[in-house]
Structure 1
Amino acid sequence: MVNESLVHPAPEESLGVLLGLVRSEIVRAMEAELAALGVELRFTQFLILKRLARLGPMTASELARAVELDGGAMTRQLDQLEGKGYLRRCPHEQDRRALRIELTNEGNALWQQLTDCNERVLEAAQRSLSETERKHLHDYLTRVLHALRDKD
Protein backbone atom coordinates (compact mmCIF):
# COMPACT_ATOMS: atom_id res chain seq x y z
CA MET A 1 0.00 0.00 0.00
CA VAL A 2 1.29 3.45 -0.93
CA ASN A 3 1.73 5.86 1.95
CA GLU A 4 -0.85 8.63 1.52
CA SER A 5 1.69 11.30 2.51
CA LEU A 6 3.86 10.31 -0.45
CA VAL A 7 0.98 10.52 -2.92
CA HIS A 8 -0.30 13.86 -1.58
CA PRO A 9 2.59 15.56 0.18
CA ALA A 10 1.88 18.03 2.94
CA PRO A 11 2.68 21.67 2.12
CA GLU A 12 5.64 21.55 4.50
CA GLU A 13 7.12 18.46 2.80
CA SER A 14 10.85 18.66 2.30
CA LEU A 15 12.27 20.03 -0.93
CA GLY A 16 13.97 16.71 -1.65
CA VAL A 17 10.75 14.73 -1.30
CA LEU A 18 8.81 17.19 -3.45
CA LEU A 19 11.44 17.18 -6.19
CA GLY A 20 11.50 13.38 -6.13
CA LEU A 21 7.72 13.17 -6.39
CA VAL A 22 7.63 15.68 -9.26
CA ARG A 23 10.29 13.70 -11.13
CA SER A 24 8.39 10.45 -10.55
CA GLU A 25 5.19 11.95 -11.93
CA ILE A 26 6.99 13.34 -14.98
CA VAL A 27 8.50 9.90 -15.63
CA ARG A 28 5.10 8.23 -15.22
CA ALA A 29 3.38 10.72 -17.52
CA MET A 30 6.10 10.49 -20.19
CA GLU A 31 6.05 6.69 -20.17
CA ALA A 32 2.24 6.79 -20.48
CA GLU A 33 2.60 9.10 -23.52
CA LEU A 34 5.14 6.75 -25.07
CA ALA A 35 2.90 3.74 -24.47
CA ALA A 36 -0.10 5.54 -25.99
CA LEU A 37 1.97 6.07 -29.14
CA GLY A 38 2.98 2.42 -29.18
CA VAL A 39 6.64 3.37 -28.67
CA GLU A 40 8.48 0.80 -26.57
CA LEU A 41 10.87 3.05 -24.68
CA ARG A 42 11.51 3.62 -21.01
CA PHE A 43 12.05 7.14 -19.70
CA THR A 44 15.83 6.70 -19.52
CA GLN A 45 15.93 5.67 -23.18
CA PHE A 46 13.80 8.69 -24.04
CA LEU A 47 16.33 10.91 -22.21
CA ILE A 48 19.21 9.36 -24.15
CA LEU A 49 17.49 10.12 -27.46
CA LYS A 50 16.66 13.63 -26.26
CA ARG A 51 20.25 14.39 -25.27
CA LEU A 52 21.63 13.08 -28.55
CA ALA A 53 19.04 15.01 -30.55
CA ARG A 54 19.71 18.26 -28.71
CA LEU A 55 23.46 18.02 -28.08
CA GLY A 56 24.61 15.93 -31.04
CA PRO A 57 26.96 12.94 -31.11
CA MET A 58 29.04 12.27 -28.00
CA THR A 59 30.97 9.52 -26.29
CA ALA A 60 29.20 6.98 -24.12
CA SER A 61 30.79 8.44 -20.98
CA GLU A 62 29.65 11.97 -21.90
CA LEU A 63 26.16 10.64 -22.55
CA ALA A 64 26.16 8.70 -19.28
CA ARG A 65 26.99 11.91 -17.39
CA ALA A 66 24.31 13.80 -19.31
CA VAL A 67 21.58 11.35 -18.24
CA GLU A 68 23.13 10.41 -14.89
CA LEU A 69 23.78 6.71 -15.52
CA ASP A 70 26.75 4.58 -14.59
CA GLY A 71 28.81 2.96 -17.34
CA GLY A 72 27.22 -0.50 -17.08
CA ALA A 73 23.68 0.84 -17.18
CA MET A 74 24.56 3.08 -20.12
CA THR A 75 25.99 0.13 -22.07
CA ARG A 76 22.76 -1.84 -21.57
CA GLN A 77 20.64 1.12 -22.69
CA LEU A 78 22.82 1.75 -25.74
CA ASP A 79 22.67 -1.94 -26.69
CA GLN A 80 18.87 -1.85 -26.56
CA LEU A 81 18.56 1.41 -28.50
CA GLU A 82 21.09 0.24 -31.09
CA GLY A 83 19.16 -3.01 -31.43
CA LYS A 84 16.01 -1.00 -32.16
CA GLY A 85 17.88 0.95 -34.83
CA TYR A 86 17.70 4.34 -33.09
CA LEU A 87 21.42 4.96 -32.61
CA ARG A 88 24.80 3.72 -33.72
CA ARG A 89 28.30 3.64 -32.31
CA CYS A 90 30.85 5.18 -34.66
CA PRO A 91 34.64 5.53 -34.39
CA HIS A 92 35.69 8.80 -32.77
CA GLU A 93 37.53 11.11 -35.16
CA GLN A 94 40.23 12.20 -32.69
CA ASP A 95 40.49 9.18 -30.38
CA ARG A 96 40.65 5.78 -32.05
CA ARG A 97 40.03 4.07 -28.69
CA ALA A 98 36.68 5.84 -28.23
CA LEU A 99 33.31 5.54 -29.91
CA ARG A 100 30.89 8.31 -30.68
CA ILE A 101 27.19 7.69 -30.15
CA GLU A 102 24.86 9.26 -32.71
CA LEU A 103 21.23 9.00 -33.73
CA THR A 104 20.36 7.12 -36.89
CA ASN A 105 17.79 8.46 -39.34
CA GLU A 106 15.22 6.29 -37.53
CA GLY A 107 16.30 7.77 -34.20
CA ASN A 108 15.98 11.30 -35.54
CA ALA A 109 12.54 10.54 -36.96
CA LEU A 110 11.43 9.05 -33.65
CA TRP A 111 12.73 12.07 -31.75
CA GLN A 112 10.70 14.38 -34.01
CA GLN A 113 7.62 12.33 -33.10
CA LEU A 114 8.45 12.41 -29.37
CA THR A 115 9.08 16.15 -29.16
CA ASP A 116 5.34 16.79 -28.96
CA CYS A 117 4.96 14.18 -26.20
CA ASN A 118 7.68 15.88 -24.19
CA GLU A 119 6.02 19.27 -24.61
CA ARG A 120 2.58 17.91 -23.62
CA VAL A 121 3.93 16.37 -20.42
CA LEU A 122 5.84 19.49 -19.41
CA GLU A 123 2.88 21.72 -20.27
CA ALA A 124 0.55 19.55 -18.16
CA ALA A 125 3.01 19.69 -15.28
CA GLN A 126 2.88 23.49 -15.32
CA ARG A 127 -0.76 24.06 -16.27
CA SER A 128 -1.66 25.61 -12.91
CA LEU A 129 1.14 28.18 -13.17
CA SER A 130 1.02 31.56 -14.86
CA GLU A 131 3.76 32.48 -17.32
CA THR A 132 5.46 34.56 -14.63
CA GLU A 133 5.27 31.69 -12.14
CA ARG A 134 6.75 29.33 -14.73
CA LYS A 135 9.68 31.67 -15.24
CA HIS A 136 10.16 32.00 -11.49
CA LEU A 137 10.01 28.24 -10.98
CA HIS A 138 12.61 27.72 -13.69
CA ASP A 139 14.80 30.41 -12.17
CA TYR A 140 14.47 28.99 -8.65
CA LEU A 141 15.27 25.44 -9.72
CA THR A 142 18.23 26.63 -11.81
CA ARG A 143 19.59 28.51 -8.81
CA VAL A 144 19.12 25.48 -6.53
CA LEU A 145 20.94 23.29 -9.06
CA HIS A 146 23.82 25.75 -9.35
CA ALA A 147 24.05 26.02 -5.57
CA LEU A 148 24.26 22.23 -5.26
CA ARG A 149 26.87 21.97 -8.00
CA ASP A 150 28.97 24.83 -6.64
CA LYS A 151 31.66 23.21 -4.51
CA ASP A 152 33.10 26.53 -3.24
Structure 2
Amino acid sequence: MNTESLAFATPQESLGILLGLVRAEIVRAMETELAAKGLNLSFTQFLILKRLARLGPMSASELARSVELDGGAMTRQLDHLEGKGYLRRCRHEQDRRALRIELTDAGNALWTQLVDCNERVLTAAQRSLSEAEQAQLQDYLERVLHALRDKS
Protein backbone atom coordinates (compact mmCIF):
# COMPACT_ATOMS: atom_id res chain seq x y z
CA MET A 1 0.00 0.00 0.00
CA ASN A 2 1.27 3.46 -0.84
CA THR A 3 1.22 5.35 2.44
CA GLU A 4 2.95 8.49 1.16
CA SER A 5 -0.36 10.35 1.04
CA LEU A 6 -0.91 9.46 4.71
CA ALA A 7 2.61 10.44 5.86
CA PHE A 8 1.81 14.06 6.58
CA ALA A 9 -1.58 13.54 8.18
CA THR A 10 -2.25 13.34 11.91
CA PRO A 11 -3.39 9.92 13.18
CA GLN A 12 -7.01 11.15 13.30
CA GLU A 13 -6.81 12.51 9.75
CA SER A 14 -5.14 9.28 8.61
CA LEU A 15 -8.12 7.25 9.83
CA GLY A 16 -10.53 9.36 7.78
CA ILE A 17 -8.28 9.26 4.73
CA LEU A 18 -7.76 5.51 5.04
CA LEU A 19 -11.50 4.83 5.42
CA GLY A 20 -12.15 6.99 2.36
CA LEU A 21 -9.51 5.13 0.34
CA VAL A 22 -10.91 1.74 1.39
CA ARG A 23 -14.42 2.83 0.36
CA ALA A 24 -13.16 4.12 -2.99
CA GLU A 25 -11.43 0.79 -3.69
CA ILE A 26 -14.54 -1.19 -2.74
CA VAL A 27 -16.61 0.99 -5.09
CA ARG A 28 -14.07 0.51 -7.89
CA ALA A 29 -13.92 -3.26 -7.36
CA MET A 30 -17.71 -3.56 -7.24
CA GLU A 31 -18.17 -1.53 -10.41
CA THR A 32 -15.55 -3.73 -12.10
CA GLU A 33 -17.54 -6.82 -11.04
CA LEU A 34 -20.76 -5.29 -12.38
CA ALA A 35 -19.12 -4.40 -15.71
CA ALA A 36 -17.64 -7.91 -16.02
CA LYS A 37 -21.18 -9.31 -15.74
CA GLY A 38 -22.29 -6.95 -18.50
CA LEU A 39 -24.53 -5.00 -16.14
CA ASN A 40 -24.88 -1.29 -16.75
CA LEU A 41 -25.18 -0.43 -13.05
CA SER A 42 -23.35 2.05 -10.87
CA PHE A 43 -22.30 1.38 -7.29
CA THR A 44 -25.11 3.67 -6.11
CA GLN A 45 -27.67 1.64 -8.07
CA PHE A 46 -26.18 -1.53 -6.59
CA LEU A 47 -26.67 -0.04 -3.09
CA ILE A 48 -30.28 0.85 -3.85
CA LEU A 49 -31.01 -2.71 -4.99
CA LYS A 50 -29.17 -4.08 -1.95
CA ARG A 51 -31.18 -1.96 0.50
CA LEU A 52 -34.48 -2.97 -1.10
CA ALA A 53 -33.50 -6.65 -1.20
CA ARG A 54 -32.39 -6.69 2.43
CA LEU A 55 -34.85 -4.27 4.04
CA GLY A 56 -37.90 -4.62 1.81
CA PRO A 57 -40.12 -1.91 0.32
CA MET A 58 -39.69 1.64 1.62
CA SER A 59 -40.39 5.21 0.67
CA ALA A 60 -38.09 7.05 -1.69
CA SER A 61 -37.01 9.38 1.12
CA GLU A 62 -36.15 6.44 3.41
CA LEU A 63 -34.21 4.85 0.59
CA ALA A 64 -32.41 8.12 -0.19
CA ARG A 65 -31.33 8.47 3.45
CA SER A 66 -30.10 4.88 3.55
CA VAL A 67 -27.79 5.39 0.56
CA GLU A 68 -26.99 9.05 1.33
CA LEU A 69 -28.54 10.67 -1.75
CA ASP A 70 -30.56 13.86 -2.03
CA GLY A 71 -34.11 13.69 -3.37
CA GLY A 72 -33.28 14.75 -6.93
CA ALA A 73 -30.44 12.26 -7.28
CA MET A 74 -32.64 9.50 -5.85
CA THR A 75 -35.42 10.27 -8.33
CA ARG A 76 -32.96 9.97 -11.24
CA GLN A 77 -31.62 6.66 -9.92
CA LEU A 78 -35.13 5.28 -9.36
CA ASP A 79 -36.20 6.36 -12.86
CA HIS A 80 -33.19 4.54 -14.32
CA LEU A 81 -33.77 1.33 -12.32
CA GLU A 82 -37.51 1.42 -12.96
CA GLY A 83 -36.84 1.87 -16.69
CA LYS A 84 -34.74 -1.30 -16.61
CA GLY A 85 -37.59 -3.14 -14.88
CA TYR A 86 -35.74 -3.76 -11.59
CA LEU A 87 -38.08 -1.84 -9.29
CA ARG A 88 -41.50 -0.24 -9.21
CA ARG A 89 -43.23 2.53 -7.33
CA CYS A 90 -46.39 1.27 -5.61
CA ARG A 91 -49.06 2.98 -3.56
CA HIS A 92 -48.54 2.63 0.18
CA GLU A 93 -51.13 0.31 1.74
CA GLN A 94 -51.96 2.61 4.69
CA ASP A 95 -51.42 6.01 3.02
CA ARG A 96 -52.61 6.13 -0.58
CA ARG A 97 -50.85 9.48 -1.10
CA ALA A 98 -47.46 7.89 -0.42
CA LEU A 99 -45.42 5.62 -2.66
CA ARG A 100 -43.30 2.63 -1.69
CA ILE A 101 -40.36 1.45 -3.75
CA GLU A 102 -40.07 -2.31 -4.18
CA LEU A 103 -38.09 -4.75 -6.28
CA THR A 104 -39.78 -6.46 -9.21
CA ASP A 105 -39.24 -10.14 -9.99
CA ALA A 106 -36.47 -9.03 -12.38
CA GLY A 107 -34.94 -6.95 -9.58
CA ASN A 108 -34.99 -9.90 -7.21
CA ALA A 109 -33.41 -12.12 -9.86
CA LEU A 110 -30.72 -9.50 -10.46
CA TRP A 111 -30.06 -9.24 -6.73
CA THR A 112 -29.41 -12.99 -6.65
CA GLN A 113 -26.57 -12.41 -9.15
CA LEU A 114 -25.28 -9.36 -7.29
CA VAL A 115 -24.91 -11.21 -3.99
CA ASP A 116 -22.04 -13.22 -5.52
CA CYS A 117 -20.36 -10.04 -6.79
CA ASN A 118 -20.66 -8.43 -3.38
CA GLU A 119 -19.22 -11.49 -1.64
CA ARG A 120 -16.25 -11.68 -4.04
CA VAL A 121 -15.37 -8.03 -3.49
CA LEU A 122 -15.64 -8.22 0.30
CA THR A 123 -13.72 -11.50 0.43
CA ALA A 124 -10.95 -10.02 -1.72
CA ALA A 125 -10.83 -6.93 0.49
CA GLN A 126 -10.19 -9.08 3.55
CA ARG A 127 -8.03 -11.82 2.02
CA SER A 128 -4.95 -10.79 3.99
CA LEU A 129 -6.83 -11.10 7.30
CA SER A 130 -7.38 -14.23 9.35
CA GLU A 131 -10.94 -15.07 10.40
CA ALA A 132 -10.19 -13.69 13.86
CA GLU A 133 -8.83 -10.47 12.35
CA GLN A 134 -11.90 -10.15 10.12
CA ALA A 135 -14.15 -10.45 13.18
CA GLN A 136 -11.98 -7.95 15.04
CA LEU A 137 -12.12 -5.48 12.14
CA GLN A 138 -15.91 -5.83 12.01
CA ASP A 139 -16.09 -5.19 15.75
CA TYR A 140 -13.81 -2.14 15.54
CA LEU A 141 -15.75 -0.59 12.67
CA GLU A 142 -19.10 -1.21 14.40
CA ARG A 143 -17.77 0.45 17.55
CA VAL A 144 -16.47 3.46 15.58
CA LEU A 145 -19.85 3.77 13.85
CA HIS A 146 -21.69 3.53 17.16
CA ALA A 147 -19.44 6.19 18.69
CA LEU A 148 -20.07 8.53 15.76
CA ARG A 149 -23.84 8.01 15.95
CA ASP A 150 -23.99 8.32 19.75
CA LYS A 151 -25.36 11.79 20.51
CA SER A 152 -24.86 11.61 24.30
TM-score range relative to shorter protein: over 0.9
Counterpart in the other structure of 1:5? 4
Counterpart in the other structure of 2:52? 52
Distance (Å, rounded) in 2 between the aligned partners of 1:58 and 1:4 = 41
SS in 1 for 2:75: helix
Counterpart in the other structure of 1:144? 144
State the number of aligned residues.
148
Shift of 1:70: 1.0
| TM-score relative to the length of structure 2 | 0.93
| TM-score relative to the length of structure 1 | 0.93
Shift of 1:93: 0.7
Report 1:79-90 matches (<5 A).
Answer: 79-90=79-90
Shift of 1:80: 0.4
Describe the superposition over 1:29-50 as per-residue Cα deviations: whole angstroms up to 9, x where unpaired.
0000000000000000000000
Distance (Å, rounded) in 2 between the aligned partners of 1:122 and 1:42 = 17
Counterpart in the other structure of 1:76? 76
Counterpart in the other structure of 1:111? 111
- List, as ranges, runs of 4+ consecutive aligned residues in structure 1 with deviation greater than 6 Å: none
Distance (Å, rounded) in 2 between the aligned partners of 1:15 and 1:70 = 26
Counterpart in the other structure of 1:21? 21
In structure 1, give the amino acid aligned to 2:43: F
Shift of 1:89: 0.1
Q: Which runs of 5+ in 1 are unaligned?
A: none
Distance (Å, rounded) in 2 between the aligned partners of 1:97 and 1:64 = 18
Distance (Å, rounded) in 1 between the aligned partners of 2:23 and 2:94 = 37
Shift of 1:94: 1.0
Q: Which runs of 5+ in 2 are unaligned?
A: none
Counterpart in the other structure of 2:127? 127
SS in 2 for 1:76: helix
Describe the superposition over 1:56-79 as per-residue Cα deviations: whole angstroms up to 9, x where unpaired.
111101111111111111111000
Identity of aligned residues (%): 80
In structure 2, give the amino acid aligned to 1:65: R
In structure 2, give the amino acid aligned to 1:134: Q
